[in-house]
Chain A
Amino acid sequence: MDSVRYDVERRGHRVPIALKILIAGGFGAGKTTLVSALSEVQPLQTEEILTGAGIDTDDLSGVETKSTTTVAMDFGRITINEDLQLYLFGTPGQDRFWFLWDELAFGALGAVVLADTRRLADCFPSIDYFEQRGIPFVVGVNCFDGSRRFSLGAVRRALDLDPDVPMVLCDARDRQSGKAVLISLVEHVARQRGEPVPAA
């Protein structure tokens, strides 16, 4: 296998590696909160146009007049070094945006599925999505105040998770907690490749 260099230099410019990580989960599960907690920049938003009709290229101003809806996506960035960045994408919560998930998931390193223990079933579609496509994921069990504490084992059973899918308790508002979830994802990806990242 030829190794791909990522320090390609061209006239002083390199194309950095930008790894994509999806933050998924049900409505209100804490996706936006997690992206903001982890991102080094103010939570950014971008949108995608939902339309079957397409966009008129020479008439930007006409876009609004067509029957288009836009869907906002959160994203954030973590710079590891000048050649390596993580992009976190909060997935849109609703099922009718599945096609956007495909775009987000394309080439993604993996995903974090946030499970809200008050509404566990809300994350089933996310889990199904990643399982069906073989995209590595971890489950972050988001501990909302006042919600009943479930044991991780009980949540795992309820979600019917594969034994090797990591589960991590987290607080999406807390950066350290979010970091731990991302680390468990990257380690999971490495384990799946059969090349575990050595413990620090």
Chain B
Amino acid sequence: MRTDLPGHQHEWLDDDAGPVVRPYTLTGGRVRPDADGFDLVAYVLARPDPNLAAFPELHPEHRLLVELAGRGTPLVELAAGLDLAIGVVRVLLGDLLSRGLVSVHQPPRATYLPDNDILKAVVDGLRAL
């Protein structure tokens, strides 16, 4: 399943890359932390050459997030990198997502149900450490 933002074409994404997540549900400026939350390891990728100047309302934390996500980074690493709580980063990501500045990919299904090839790669990789 993949959810596109209204008015935004995420044509730079491949359908197989996992679902793009709907912006965080905001209710009167409040967040429901458990609803529609991005996974801890949801993969965040900034749009190439994001035009941050067009969004003067964004906080410095938003800008740092976009910078950190330039390489493609899991949510939990972004939170640690910015020293912000996960819940706060989720909210900021919602802001960035609605402005088309980042894409957020919930983990591909192979993350939740890795096949035997993946499990074997993990065991081999661990043995080789």
Contacts and interface: CB of A to CB of B under 8 A. Distances in A.
Interface of A: 3-6, 8-11, 13, 15-20, 44-49, 51, 53-58, 60, 63, 70, 75, 77-78, 80-81, 84, 86-87, 89, 99, 103-104, 106-107, 109, 175, 179, 182-183, 186-187, 189-190, 193, 195, 197-198, 200
Nearest to A18: B41
A70 B48 contact: no
A183 B88 contact: no
Given A70-B85, A84-B122, A190-B119, A57 B107 contact: no
B2 to A, nearest CB: 13
A69 B43 CA distance: 26
A13 B37 contact: no
A15 B72 contact: yes
Interface residues of B, number: 57
B125 interface: yes
B120 A197 contact: yes
Nearest to B120: A197
Contacts of A51: 33
